[in-house]
Amino acid sequence: MSKIGKKPIQIPTGVTIKIEDNKITVSGPQGSLERTFRPELEVLVEGDVVKVLPVKETKQTPALWGLTRALIANMVDGVVKKFEKKLEISGIGYQASVQGGDLVLKIGFTHPVAIVIPDGVEVKVEKNIVVITGRDKEAVGQFAASVRARKKPEPYKG
């Protein structure tokens, strides 16, 4: 039994959920998100509640049950309000800017580092703060991690 998987997901007003085969589509004021889920699970919409139930018991079912429920809850949250990550760039001569569809970082290398901004993710630069927003929590977090991985913070200088 999955403790997280058992919890139903409340659907806020203005959000619609469609389920076809193993694909769920969540639409709301900020746009729509789509994801496929494993055949070991069944997703049901009952009124203003979404429930995730296991169809067949395997060793992985409890983990997949909780994961799928959490992913659907993040989709519902993302179409209502966008997710946001903030990265601070600090260092002498360090700069960031958005040029076209790229985030260009000047972070102490001999050349500027250009990172392609994925679809569904928006990037704004305010002085030395890079603000990453988007509907998909996974895409926002992954892009923030890839930006941070270009030059990790110096542990001794902050």
Residues 7 and 75 both lie in one domain:
yes
Residue 55 falls inside a structural domain: yes
Instruction: Answer with the one of 80, 111, 142 that is the final residue of a domain.
Output: 80
At 21, which amino acid appears? D
Residues 119 and 60 both lie in one domain:
no
**Domain of 111, in residue numbers:** 83-150
Collapsing DSSP to helix, strand or coil, 90 comes out as coil
Angle between helices 61-80 and 137-150 (to 10 degrees): 90
Instruction: Answer with the one of 80, 111, 129 that is the final residue of a domain.
Output: 80
Average pLDDT, the chain: 93
- Cβ contact 121:139 at 8 Å: yes
- Cβ contact 85:141 at 8 Å: yes
Which pLDDT score, from 0 to 100, does residue 146 have?
Answer: 97
- Out of 22-31, 73-82, 94-103, 149-158, least confident range: 149-158
Cβ-in-10-Å burial (0-12, 13-18, 19+) of 95 comes to middle
List the CATH number of the domain containing 111: 3.90.930.12
**How many domains does one find in the chain?**
2
Residues 33 and 49 both lie in one domain:
yes
Question: Would you say residue 58 has pLDDT above 80?
Answer: yes
Q: What is the pTM of this model?
A: 0.90
Residues 74 and 87 both lie in one domain:
no
Collapsing DSSP to helix, strand or coil, 105 comes out as strand
